[in-house]
Structures are given as C-alpha cells and as structure tokens.
Structure 1
C-alpha cells in the first residue's frame, strides 16, 4: 500500500540523486505560463506538461508529488527543458503539439490523437465553419485549441449572428428553392439559395478569419457603440444581447494564443529565453522584460516610455507613458533615472517586478538605471542596448558584449528596445502636435479658452482642422467667419509644421 510516508522517503532519495546542474535549473525557473519537457538519462522526452506557473509545477515533481505517476516521472528525470510563453492558451497549444511530436510514455490523453476542440474554416467556394477535434493535413484554416468545448459552441453561435457563415453539408452547384432555418434566424447568409453573392460571402468569411487572427478590436468597439445606442433608445433586450456577445468576444481573446503555432514550435527549438539567461548570467529566465526609452528635442516636452514583453510577446497592460517633470535641462541619463524612480515609487507598482530591465543607451544610461534601482531598493537585473553598434552594456563589465546579428537573444532585446523607442516617439509626436494646435489657435482672433478647449477635444491635430469644413467648426459654437479664419490659419500652420508629421 502506497503511503505519504513512502512518498516522503522517495522524495528525499530523489533530492539526494539530483545533479547540481538540475538543482540550479530548477531554482532558476520563472513563475510564468509555459510548457515543460522532462527527459531521462538518455535524453528521451518522457513527459510534456503545461502550467500557469512553471516554477511551482516542475519543482513539485521533486518535492511535493505523492501520486505514483509523479514519482515515477521524477525518478527517471535527468533534465528538464521549459518554454516560457506569453499566455495560458499558448501553453495549451504548444503542449498539444509537443506531445504528438514526442509521444512521451507518461502522456496518455493526447498521444492517441484525442485533442482539444478547434475551429475549422474550409477553403471551398462557399467555406464552411465547424468545430472539430482533429487538425487534418488539408487546405482548411484551423484556430485554437480551446479548453472549454461548451463555451466554444456558444461563441460560434454568437459569431454566426455577426458573420453568418454556413455550417451545413450543402454542396455548391445544387441550388435549393429556399434556404434553411438558420437563414431565417440570421445565422447563415443563405448561399444555398442564392441569397448572397460569392464575393459578399467571401468578405464575411474574411471578417471571421480576421477575428480569430486577433482583429477583435474593431468589432468590439462597434458592438459597444451599438450597445450604448440601444440602451439610449431603451431597447434593453437588444443591448443585453450585445453585452453577452462582448463577453464571448473577451472569452475568445483569452482562449486564443498570441502567436501562431509555428512560431511557438520554433521558440521551443531556439530556446531564446534560456540562451539570454545564460549570456547575461541571470539567475532567472527572463520571461517578463521591461524596456525604457526617452524621447526629447531639448528639455521641453521630454517624455519617457515603458514597454513590457511576456514570453517574447508585447504585453500591452505593461505599457506606460511619462512626462518628464523633475529633470532640468537635456540630460538623458537623469531622465532614465527619473523614469525608473517613478516606475517603482509605490507598493502597488512593486507587486510585479520584471525579470530583466532594458534601457536604450550605453554606459551612462546603464549607470543611471543601476543607481536609481539601488536607491529604490529594487533588485532586478538591468542592461543597456546601444543602437549604433548594437552593443550590450552590463553592470560591472568594462567592455560591452557583442552578439552575432543572427542571435535570437540579440533580436529579442532589439525588439524590446525598438518597441520602447516607437512608443516614446509616438507619444512625443502627439504632444508636439497638440502644442502646435494650441499655439496657432492663440493667433486667431475670437478664440478664447472655452473655444480652444472645444476645438482641441474635437480635432486631433492641425491637419484635421485644415481639412475640416466651416460647418463642423460652427457646430462647436464658432461664428462662420471665425471658423473660416481657423481653417485658413490651420492650413498655414500645417505647412509650417510639416516636419513633425
């Protein structure tokens, strides 16, 4: 009879046999979603698993598992590989593929072809939408996998109200005298009865495919606008239906992976995060990386930006924009220090620390970042990446590190650096445009503080005002002659400020 005492004795034996390299690897695992591959002494993959927290799950095989299967796996484990990913759906997708590729002896559920549900869209003349359990080697498009089959069916039912793609076995060429019941309830465009042209049907299918590929933002914005309009017209039942559709679309966003399956499998091969950890001598795999950049043309309107990458993918919730307020003069190093000081200036901001901080620049920016983090009591590794020669500067190292241009680790750091630069530059340009609009309005007679505020709220930049009609400005409360003067001044200012577009 297997007892907890026997399990504890087995764990002690396993810990005694564990190699120093494996102990070190376990201690450096990240607390993030991902997939892990456990190998035996011959290098054979004996188990593939996924977890929302790699460190806890993998360590449990050697410290906390009491079931026989877990102890058998740990008893044969000689090495562990992990692949951190951005989201749990990515972990699910990658686990599914790796189990079928390696056929590990301790994985049972997914080895025999059984799988999580997928959405399938065929490529025939009038494509069909369906839910399947197996991805075949055909020309169809597959999306998923999804963890909840029932929720997926509800999602597809809601989506066919917006994108009425057929789900029947009708074969093109055999026209029917009248469409099926799904057409009458608005869930099919009715190609079987000639109710929709081939071009229009293809447009509907492209919209659905775009949705599954990540183009949900526009659809969600449209649904929210229509929901508010319905509520304003007291059509509460219709508004409630749209609210339910929005919830399903949010579910779709959580269920789908951020990257295609091919990219995730490639990540398994190149093991970028592991390699970067080794190159930079990090204690942990850098799953969450924050990048910082400064944008300024002198002390006026200086701004800073923070971007975040999780599992090599931009994480928009970790983006921040800062107006530089405390630094006097044009001092990039001091601005970097201000940026990091403000980033960690509250307990709330310290709840989730990154695994690595990257600043755009060289030795000076790195020194300022290290000093600011030290003063804030933040123990996070930091490096700087200079644009000119793509050199990596590390604390305590006199000469910069240079990696080959094809290095996946360097390319990851470049993506973070370039995204931080793009984000800070975009914010800087937006502020300059706004200031340009405000300054040219000061030169137009009849424009006071109230009218200026209305114009700034309605128009994003000078170009929009220059192309506006007098009626659109009159709608803001401007006399017709004043509206014409504003447009004329905007056209003159647009030419003068063309360099900031």
Structure 2
C-alpha cells in the first residue's frame, strides 16, 4: 500500500486511463477518467458498495496513461480492455449477435442471412426480431426476387433455377440492369415498401384467377400471406420513418442496466438488455458501453442515436462519427424515457436474484475457507484423471474464481511419462507440469488445490508441491460414494474428513467443482480416444496431413492398396514428387 500512496500523491489532473493490478501483476480492471487524480483517488477513499470493495481489496498496484483528450481516453480504454480482458470489466463480454439480411456487392448479387457485419460494401438490413423472422423474410424475398443463390458459380443451372428462384447467371446472360432492378426492389421492400409489393401481388393474383390459372393464383396468395405474417407483426410507433437506436440506462447498488430500442421504419423491432456491475461514474461507464457496442461489437450505425441528458453528446458524436441527439421534449424524449424506465424495471426484477446469487457464492467460499482453516480461497484449481484400463490417459484442470468457473483458465493434459493405469503417477506428472510452469512464468498461484480422489491422490500432489517445487498450497481431496456422488472433503496429514453440512452452500460449491472437472476430463478423454480410433499407417508421415490422407484413401480405397502403390501411382493420385517418394520409402521399409 505504500507504493499506492506514493503514486496517488503524484497523480496528474489530466484525462487518461488507469490499469489496476493484483498481487500477481495481472491487470484486473481498466478505467478512464476526465481527471485521473480525482478518479483513481476515489477508489481508496470514502465508502463503497460490496463489489467495489472486492475490487479495491484485490488492488496491489496501478498504472496510468495520460491522453490529450477524453475522447482519446475512451478509445484507449476500449483497446486496453480488449488487450487485457480484465476480470472486473464485464460489460458486453457476451457474444450476443442479431440476425441481418445482406445484399452482397458482387457482379451477380446474392441475398444472405448473416450475424456478422463486415466492411465489404454489402448492404445490411436489420436487426430482426429473431432468427426465425429473418429466415422467413429471406425465404419470401427468394420467392419474389430470383437473385443468384450459389456461393460459387457452377457450370450448370441448379434446383433454384428450376424452382424459379434464380435466373441462372451461371449459364444465361443476366444484365447488370436486371440485377440492379431486383436489388432496388428488395431494398425498397426492406425499407418499408412491402405494402406496395403486396398490392401488386394482389392484382396479379386476381388476374391469374380470372385467367383460370388457379395454381398461380394460389402461389401469389401464399406469398401475400407470408408478407402479412413476416412484415406486419410489429406495432407502428411513430410516423417518423428514420432508423434510430434509443438508449436509456439506470443504475443502483453497483449495477447498471442499459436498454437499447432498435426502431426501424417507425417500428420497434428489437431491444437489447445489458446488465453488469460498474465501478466508476455512471455516465462515463455508459460512454464505454456505447463505444464497445458500436465499435467493438460492430452493430451498424442507424441514421440517428438518441441518448439521455446525462451523457456528453458531443463526445459520443465524435466517437461514433454519427448523428447523436439528446432530445429534451416530444416523442423522441418519450422514447428515451421509456428505455430508461425499462432499464429500471429490469434492474429491479433481476437485482434481488443477482445479489442473492453473488452473496451466496461469496459466502460459500468464505465459509469453505473457515471450515478448512485457511484464508478465503478466491482461486481454486481442481484436477481429475481419465483413462480406460490405462489407454489414452489424460488429465484436466479447471479454475474457479470467486466461486465461479473461469473457463479461459481451464487446461488439458495428455499424460506423457506414465505407462499403464497409474492414477497416482499421472497426478504427479500433471501437478508438476502445471505448477512448474506457473513458477517459471510468475503466474498467479491458487489458494486451494482440489484433487478428485482420496488419500493417495492427495499424497501424490503434495509430494510434488512440497518436496519438488517447495510450494505450501493447501491440497484437499474429494471422495465419492458408491453412487459416484460427492461424499466428503479430505484435508490434512494424515487426511481426515471435514464435516460439511450436506445442505450448505460450501458443499454445493464442491459438488459443482467436482462435477465440472469430471465433465471436462471425460470430454477430453473422449476426444483423444476418438481421434486414436481413426489413426492409421499414414499418420506421422511428413507431408501427409488430414487432407492428403483423405485424398489417398479416396484414390486407392484401402491402406493395403496404398502400401502396394509405386511412386508413379502416388503422383497420379495428386501427391507431389517428394511426398510420393516419402510414402514409397515408408511402406517399403515396413516390408
């Protein structure tokens, strides 16, 4: 703390970013500030909510980077979060994406369903209410506008051509003007012009009916029903047809909820709800959110973005290079207020559950530490071995931080030095490899190690830790009953059972850890075993990978015939001369 106090005393009163670090010099939180001196000092003075207290308790050092403006600090903060992935920066860490329809910018354009927005000159429409709505809309447009369907041009027409859903540019000449006409009509349709299309189809339906072409009339009627089903579900909200995103946020007790309304062609078509803990100023954290939302998650920018009055609208405009409004009255202000009210309600509804879960989890690891007579085990690492009669032996290690799995830290191990089914030797090898590496790379060590097994597994792990690596980390064993359920926790020398109530949170935590490490080890063992089942004499031959293995088996039909082949035969099968010679030498030496 002396180092921190000295740094706090000389903090500059300029904008910039700060990086909070833990005892292992790992970046655990990145923030930005208009005035670094005020913001960073605020973490170490005054009272805080429980989440911020936990963050501050983990801080052992910090760094800061001065920027020339707040905008620069905001951009730098996003880059630093992306680089370090700090555990306390949790906003927008999910992979939530929305479906869009895309018209490609090719000579013969295609209409595609996608969840990825790329800068490829294509035209994107959406987001859609859900994946089903987007897929149904695409099916409808495919019926109405026969654009190219194939990824690559074939040398003959496909089924879509015979169904009337493609003009067959692979074989027939389709002019640029004809393609552009269809593209313009699709754009018009997706931008709200579907009533005109519906009216035109209705006229054609009646004309086909009068001409006694009832089959065609039925097809047109079905297309009209599709338009009704897909395009007219949403309630009209405004006569203003400008595409806009509306933001509102609410915060309470260290949590923030941001709601985004996507309004397209006057209709509310979708909303995004994000709920996350925050540790700084609410308005500034919202700026970080909106920057990540558009610039890192690649949500396409609408014509207008509406934000609450607390937000620095000029900064958002500069950041996004977009039209950002801060409505003070009228319907647009009502939209922003509605988004904020929804955020407040979502926070109220979920807050009790989230807080209860957080409290339960933290309490579980605190009580587990008390029961074991050790400091609170904020980081727990657990090991499990998996093999069948000694074949394909593997081991797996999982990490629980603050009572929750951290899957990015999971590790898989193939056993290298053990022959036959020897669980204890396997445990020694994996523990040795894991913690020798952590020591070498000066990475964070766990507060508690759990091995899936009894006294022998514990003794194997402790022998390596204490006698080889000189590490004094508590090691516990998890024993199972005859029904393969978590039975008891073992600790000490000699190991004795720790009395844990079966209905306690700490016992449930141990069950989750044991189930998770067993699942992870078993799934890895299946992968290794399945891969081994498909091994062949072609494995480990230089220049022969999976693709060439398939190529050889397709050409010769069996390993036996491959072994009988000549260099010339291999070359005829598409192998380069050096690979053909290597194959021939390999199988000749075997004979």
TM-score of the superposed pair, with normalisation by structure 2: 0.41
Structure showing greater radius of gyration is: 2
Higher RCO (CA-CA < 8 Å; seq separation 6+): 1
Q: Which structure: greater strand fraction?
A: 2
TM-score, scaled to structure 1: 0.47
